[in-house]
Each structure stands twice: as structure tokens, then as C-alpha cells.
């Protein structure tokens, strides 16, 4: 998505940065993992296909992608690099928005993946989701978030429930639970709090 080109979002533990070509090789290695393929309902791609995908995502108005980095001193400051070797070493996963509900332009599907095992169970997924929701709410006018989770992924279901999402549908064909959060509901009080804590650095 062109809208998030150059946008950097910093929290306490993680920094969200746009998906660049320098990130592709590590992302490609992540997606060789059969467990990640199953959890994300993804098919393995060649490295060439991954590079083409990265290019298309940057231009796709219906998809907003950030790479999740473990936060470092200097993130968000002028001149900081998010594509050098040090930044690539800090890659933890990605967080995405899909604007595929043509009846409601203010609705989007949200998904999170913490692919790097050393960064799991540290609260990275929760903070990355909160930062993405803050960005989507304040900058992209999103009022309804939807997530689709494989029914066996109990950890993800519990995470989204913790954030205020509620189950509203089950798709037996894909064995998926569908959950939603409407930002005007009482369940979304956290959004206001996150908006106050998220620091969104727009391109200069």
C-alpha cells in the first residue's frame, strides 16, 4: 500500500516498518516452515515469486503490510535504517491489513505472524496488533477489524479475545473461526489508549 510507504510506528518493544526488498530473503526463509504455512494458510513460493510479491504489495491499495522489528535505540529518529543488516537481524514477523470488504470501506481483515521463534511469547504479537490498529483507526479510517484464525490455533484466538475481539462466525470448510472488533463498541476502549501511546512517524 502506497499509504504506508515511509511510515514507521514505534511502541515499547516493537517497531513497525514497511516491507522492503531487503527483508524478502529472511521472510522467504520463514515461509519454508510447514507450521507457519499451516497457521497462515499460505503456500510456499520461490524466492523470485517472493520478490514479485513484495513489489505488488507495495502498490496494492487493498493490502497494508508492516514488518515487525524488535525495537532498538534510535528507531523513529531521523536517519534510522530499517533495511541494513542490523535491522534484518531484528525482524520478528509481519502484521497485515486486507481491505477486501467492498460493501464496507471502513472494514479490514487483520493478521499477525511472529515467525522468529526467539521473539515469541514476549508480547510482540499483542503490541504489534495494537500499533497496527492504532494506525488503521487514526490514519486509514478503519472502524471494523476482522480476523480469521485456524480453529486449532488457541494462542491466537486467546490473543484476539484479550484485545476485545468476539467470535461471530465459523467456516467449517476452512476450519476457521472468524472474529471481529468494532471500534465504537465498548470492547474497543483499548483503541483510545493505544492511540495515545503509539508513535507514528510519517515520511518527511
- Residue 100: C-alpha distances to residues 42, 60, 70, 103 (Å): 18, 11, 29, 9
pLDDT tens over the chain, length 204 residues: 778 888 999 999 999 999 999 999 999 999 999 999 988 888 889 999 999 999 998 889 899 999 999 999 999 999 999 999 999 999 999 999 999 998 999 999 999 999 999 999 999 999 999 999 989 988 999 999 999 999 999 999 999 999 989 999 999 999 999 999 998 765 556 666 666 667 788 765
CATH number for the segment(s) 2-199: 3.40.630.30
Domain definitions of the chain by residue range: 2-199
Amino acid at each position: 500500500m502506497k499509504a504506508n510507504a515511509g511510515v514507521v510506528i514505534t511502541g515499547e518493544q516493537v517497531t513497525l516498518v514497511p516491507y522492503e526488498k531487503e527483508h524478502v530473503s529472511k521472510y522467504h526463509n520463514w515461509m519454508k516452515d510447514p507450521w507457519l504455512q499451516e497457521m497462515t494458510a499460505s503456500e510456499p513460493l520461490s524466492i523470485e515469486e517472493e520478490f514479485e510479491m513484495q513489489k505488488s504489495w507495495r502498490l496494492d491499495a487493498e493490502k497494508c503490510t508492516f514488518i515487525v522489528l524488535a525495537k532498538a535505540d534510535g528507531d523513529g529518529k531521523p536517519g534510522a535504517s530499517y533495511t541494513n543488516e542490523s535491522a534484518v537481524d531484528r525482524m520478528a514477523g509481519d502484521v497485515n491489513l486486507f481491505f477486501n470488504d467492498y460493501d464496507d470501506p471502513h472494514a479490514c481483515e487483520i493478521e499477525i505472524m511472529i515467525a522468529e521463534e526467539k521473539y515469541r511469547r514476549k508480547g510482540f504479537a499483542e503490541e504489534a496488533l495494537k500499533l497496527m490498529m492504532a494506525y488503521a483507526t487514526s490514519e486509514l479510517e478503519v472502524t471494523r477489524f476482522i480476523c480469521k484464525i485456524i480453529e486449532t490455533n488457541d494462542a491466537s484466538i486467546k490473543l484476539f479475545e484479550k484485545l476485545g475481539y468476539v467470535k461471530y462466525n465459523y467456516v467449517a470448510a476452512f476450519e476457521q473461526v472468524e472474529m471481529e472488533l468494532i471500534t465504537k463498541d465498548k470492547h474497543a476502549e483499548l483503541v483510545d489508549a493505544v492511540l495515545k501511546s503509539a508513535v507514528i512517524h510519517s515520511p518527511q
